[in-house]
Amino acid sequence: MQITIQRHDAGAADARKPVYQQIAEQVSRAIGAGELRAGDKLPTIRALAGQLGVNRDTVALAYDALARERLVETTVGRGTFVRQATPRARPQRAAPPLSPLVDRLLDFERARPDYAARDGAVPLHSLIPDPSLYPLKAFRRSLNRVLDEGGTELLSYGGHQGSAALRDVIAERLRGHDVDTGAEQLVLCQGASQGMSLAMRLYAEPGDWVAVEEPTYHNVLGVLVGLGLRPAPVPMTDDGPDLEVLERTLARPEVRLFYTMPSFHNPLGTTTSLAHRRALLDIAARLGKPVIEDGFEMDLRYDGREVPPLAALDTSGVVVHLFSFSKSLFPGVRIGSICARGRAVDGLLALKYTTDLSGVLVLQAAVADFVRRGGYDRHLANLRGRLRERRDVLLAALEEHMPQGTRWTRPEGGYQVWVDLPEDIDSRALLREAENAGVMFSPGHQFHHDGRPSTGLRLTTALADSDEIRRGIEILARLVSTQLAARAPRVARDTSIHV
Amino acid sequence: MQITIQRHDAGAADARKPVYQQIAEQVSRAIGAGELRAGDKLPTIRALAGQLGVNRDTVALAYDALARERLVETTVGRGTFVRQATPRARPQRAAPPLSPLVDRLLDFERARPDYAARDGAVPLHSLIPDPSLYPLKAFRRSLNRVLDEGGTELLSYGGHQGSAALRDVIAERLRGHDVDTGAEQLVLCQGASQGMSLAMRLYAEPGDWVAVEEPTYHNVLGVLVGLGLRPAPVPMTDDGPDLEVLERTLARPEVRLFYTMPSFHNPLGTTTSLAHRRALLDIAARLGKPVIEDGFEMDLRYDGREVPPLAALDTSGVVVHLFSFSKSLFPGVRIGSICARGRAVDGLLALKYTTDLSGVLVLQAAVADFVRRGGYDRHLANLRGRLRERRDVLLAALEEHMPQGTRWTRPEGGYQVWVDLPEDIDSRALLREAENAGVMFSPGHQFHHDGRPSTGLRLTTALADSDEIRRGIEILARLVSTQLAARAPRVARDTSIHV
């Protein structure tokens, strides 16, 4: 059988199916037509990915989808085979319908970019911290040490608030940023992702609205859809969210809270000034609306001067602060914290309890040990150095290669740099070309609440090292320059007609 | 200062405040009145608990609540002290209101029993598996082995579906129970608790109704409140949920799904027959309503013959099956799985993604290794033996000591035994006496959707060993007998008046 992939073209942007789905459907049709028969072996994931010039994950997704339809089955070490038609009767009735909310969520998820890069493409799209930098050995010592000391008790439920030792450690670090807090005001959670979801549920019910920055972290938009909440966008200026729009938005009674990333914004990479933070808090306090401050990269400043988190400036008790170890230690630990006050803590505990009972106590204890013994700060010193170096390389490469009219941000911490392309180049359309040319980035439309096209794109320094970054930017710059060159005559012709 | 505890009395059952709150309020008042001053040390948790005859956890909760109000602070190793009034201005405005849904959840949580046992009371209320039985050493070898082999990649995000190795292992075990499934149809989650919440969200939106057994696991009711869902109770008979009521209930369009525990029911301990399972599935399939089957103790059968899970009997694709390692390995691993079909799997993946991104890959890999090497089955063989022994001791003690008219269930697996007291004795009222006398149990009202009084109570064999179980039942039986003896004359008097 022959598998072909329909690549993106500008005219049919929304009709285009994800690559994995195209593959799955063609295999499915081949089975239906008898081209492939029970027992036939499909190409290996590696072989098919190579042949189609797509990422292996894409082929793996396709095979998973086929397995889910009971059309193929995979045997570890042997491969993927077309299944014998099952002797059990196929369902006579349609499966029960999913909730409309889940249907909306699936629609939303389908609109995510379907990265289909060739192997070896420079991963400037990824926010997964580089595994080669994880402090595996030292962390493992902490893990085994707490198991020696804590024994089986660490394998029991952790309580819904989470390890007191780790809450102590995080509270102490937050106090180092002038946040007036204590272990009793912290609730541990599965990374800032869960923290975000719990904090939103604390104040907003399905049908309510949530003010979000535009652009904002795309998963925030997904969380909103999943919870039945609606985004009220507040455009970002050069110094944080537009305060006039923010005030107007938060004044609407159906808007329940504001979600913001004042430091190392995702996707912009920018940091809001102290004066802007104070003005923002004043608005929120005046209107009595809570502010969720996502400090997911707060430990990753490598340049400039610390600006106190909103939680440190908050005298009205409106701020709920999220922290996470995912970007600064490693994501697989799945540990973050939510810092709140008074009844908000009780509410968070009740929500955590009814969501998944508790986190993983033994990992929480291991992180507490790792931080206490200085392992985390040593790791941070190393990581910040690398991130600064990679940012410098990235900015220098942009400066050297990008055509005139391109603008970009200059982060003082974290992984994100935002690039704004000249002359209305749609970054989503550019992505297909870029993937084929060997560089990946995150197109800007997915950071918009309505998914409208964007000339912006997010680059990260998470997975790519300095050499890869240089190579990636050279490729990207060449593509943009080519587009501009192709455009110029057309603009000239248009002009000549109209004059 | 003098702290006193208002114990439960029948007349003011609902007005009674939790013990920890009573303690916190008295300390708070003492600080307000100047009886306690900045820098004063509070009694240690151990000392105050001993003095008041309550559990240390209760005092710890009280001190936490005070710390949250910024009235006291705890320094590890030194103790808990009254705080200096903070120089920072106190909030001038009220904190933002929590969502009405969270308020309802907090009300619900307050209705939970506030266990205030003396130290040393027999814990027949706990569903935390006995830590002395956790296979710490063998599991730790698996954990270190996968870290050796998998390295830093195991510390990255696990993907929202979770470790393929562990999904393979669980799928294989489910196939051993005749469930026709594969790794691609499983989504890993943080224990059955998270599985339950995700599975409910898959089919039901806030405002919808969910059919639940009555009595049912009290956390199910909490999950419903937290998600804005409403319980539609289906009474349990001697052989599972009443099928007539179930049919009537599921026929209501606003009732979206049915949550059931056919094996080793919590709190009843009972197992539904094969015929009843088939009839139940027939109703659900005919009405097109999904069934969430909670198999949280499915690996804990120690007696009788296996009855296939609903998921094995389901020919219509209505069953979503939950499995968990919490009760059969240890809870702190926080790993369970959801087994579904077709689009339901996509929906679960999207929900998982927007809830907390992914689970803890390194622990998932460690459990896969542990199971593959036979460690889990060896552990289960040992655990089942212990549980069988404890159940036999419990049933024998009930038989020997409980007064006539008491009835109880005879589980074939898991930890729960349900006891029904004679002559309308309210188990909630009995709990206060029992705690003082040295035995704890779970009063039945909390397993009712409306919290109405119950003559039932749940006993468990999770934390108490055989000797403790014998002692606990002797105490319980004595209390019940005393109540019956005290009642008899009153009944006689009442009778004489009315005749």
Has residue A56 got a pLDDT over 70? yes
Pick the residue from chain B with its C-alpha nearest to A159. Answer: B332
Per mean pLDDT, which range of A18-27, A256-265, A335-344, B329-338 is the poorest?
A: A18-27
Summarize the confidence of residues A73-95 as an average pLDDT: 68
| pLDDT score of B8 | 43
| Chain A residues within an 8 Å CB radius of B105 | 347, 350-351, 354
| pLDDT score of B6 | 59
- Measure the CA angle with vertex A240, ends A238 and A242; round to 5°: 90
Three-class SS string for chain A? Answer: CCCCCCCCCHHHCCCCCCHHHHHHHHHHHHHHCCCCCCCCECCCHHHHHHHHCCCHHHHHHHHHHHHHCCCEEEECCCEEEECCCCCCCCCCCCCCCCCHHHHHHHHHHHCCCCCCCCCCCEECCCCCCCHHHCCHHHHHHHHHHHHHHHHHHHHCCCCCCCCHHHHHHHHHHHHHCCCCCCHHHEEEECHHHHHHHHHHHHHCCCCCEEEEEECCCHHHHHHHHHHCCEEEEEEEECCEECHHHHHHHHHCCCEEEEEECCCCCCCCCCCCCHHHHHHHHHHHHHHCCCEEEEECCHHHECCCCCCCCHHHHCCCCCEEEEEECCCCCCHHHCCEEEECCCHHHHHHHHHHHHHHCCCCHHHHHHHHHHHHCCHHHHHHHHHHHHHHHHHHHHHHHHHHHCCCCCEECCCCECCEEEEECCCCCCHHHHHHHHHHHCEECEEHHHHCCCCCCCCEEEEECCCCCHHHHHHHHHHHHHHHHHHHHHHHHHHHHHHHHHC
pLDDT band at A85 (very low <50, low <70, confident <90, very high): low
If one compares B74 and B274, the residue with the highest pLDDT of the two is B274
Using the beta-carbon criterion (under 8 Å), do B219 and A357 form an inter-chain contact?
Answer: yes
If one compares B14 and A416, the residue with the highest pLDDT of the two is A416
| pLDDT score of A79 | 86
| pLDDT score of A83 | 84
pLDDT band at B12 (very low <50, low <70, confident <90, very high): very low
What digits encode the pLDDT tens for the residues A174-214? Answer: 999 999 999 999 999 999 999 999 999 999 999 999 999 99
Q: Does A353 touch chain B (CB under 8 A)?
A: yes
| pLDDT score of B146 | 97
| pLDDT score of B90 | 43
Torsion of CA B123, B125, B128, B134, to 10 degrees: 40
pLDDT band at B67 (very low <50, low <70, confident <90, very high): confident
pLDDT band at B103 (very low <50, low <70, confident <90, very high): very high
| Chain A residues within an 8 Å CB radius of B334 | 356-360
| Chain B residues within an 8 Å CB radius of A75 | none
Using the beta-carbon criterion (under 8 Å), do A350 and B153 form an inter-chain contact?
Answer: no
| pLDDT score of A61 | 79
Whole-model pTM: value is: 0.84
Summarize the confidence of residues B360-378 as an average pLDDT: 98
Has residue A91 got a pLDDT over 70? no
From the list A97, A194, A363, the residue facing B355 with the nearest CB is: A194
Count Cβ atoms within 10 A of the Cβ of residue A401 and give its class: 0-12 exposed, 13-18 middle, 19 or more buried.
middle
Per mean pLDDT, which range of A34-43, A417-426, B409-418 is the poorest?
A: A34-43
Q: Does A360 touch chain B (CB under 8 A)?
A: yes
Using the beta-carbon criterion (under 8 Å), do B155 and A131 form an inter-chain contact?
Answer: yes
Quick one: which of B360, B53, B120 has its CA closest to A359? Answer: B360
Has residue A124 got a pLDDT over 60? yes
Please give, rounded to a whole number of angstroms, the shortest distance from the CA of B148 to a CA of chain A. 10
Mean of all residue pLDDT scores within chain B = 90
Interface with B, mutate which of A20, A28, A45, A98 (most B CBs under 10 A):
A98
What digits encode the pLDDT tens for the residues A377-418? Answer: 999 999 999 999 999 999 999 999 999 999 999 999 999 999
Has residue B50 got a pLDDT over 80? yes
Using the beta-carbon criterion (under 8 Å), do B289 and A96 form an inter-chain contact?
Answer: yes
From the list B95, B144, B359, the residue facing A342 with the nearest CB is: B95
Question: How many C-beta atoms surround the C-beta of residue A395 within 10 A?
Answer: 17
Has residue A138 got a pLDDT over 50? yes
Using the beta-carbon criterion (under 8 Å), do B288 and A67 form an inter-chain contact?
Answer: no
| pLDDT score of B270 | 98
Summarize the confidence of residues B213-218 as an average pLDDT: 97
| pLDDT score of B117 | 63
If one compares A494 and B175, the residue with the highest pLDDT of the two is B175
- A236: phi then psi, degrees, rounded to nearest 5: -85, 135
| Chain B residues within an 8 Å CB radius of A353 | 109, 219, 222
| pLDDT score of A112 | 82
Using the beta-carbon criterion (under 8 Å), do B197 and A128 form an inter-chain contact?
Answer: no
Summarize the confidence of residues B451-469 as an average pLDDT: 96
| pLDDT score of A30 | 81
Interface with B, mutate which of A292, A339, A355 (most B CBs under 10 A):
A355
| pLDDT score of A50 | 83
Has residue B381 got a pLDDT over 70? yes
Interface with A, mutate which of B59, B205, B291, B357 (most A CBs under 10 A):
B357
pLDDT band at B11 (very low <50, low <70, confident <90, very high): very low
Q: Does B405 touch chain A (CB under 8 A)?
A: no
| pLDDT score of A495 | 41
| pLDDT score of A7 | 53
If one compares B472 and B27, the residue with the highest pLDDT of the two is B472
Mean of all residue pLDDT scores within chain A = 90
Has residue A12 got a pLDDT over 50? no
Per mean pLDDT, which range of A431-445, B76-90, B107-121 is the poorest?
A: B76-90
Interface with A, mutate which of B74, B81, B102, B330 (most A CBs under 10 A):
B102
What digits encode the pLDDT tens for the residues B234-264? Answer: 999 999 999 999 999 999 999 999 999 999 9
Using the beta-carbon criterion (under 8 Å), do B350 and A105 form an inter-chain contact?
Answer: yes
Domains of chain A from N-terminus onward: 13-96 (1.10.10.10), 107-133+379-485 (3.90.1150.10), 136-375 (3.40.640.10)
Has residue B1 got a pLDDT over 90? no
From the list A93, A153, A343, the residue facing B131 with the nearest CB is: A153
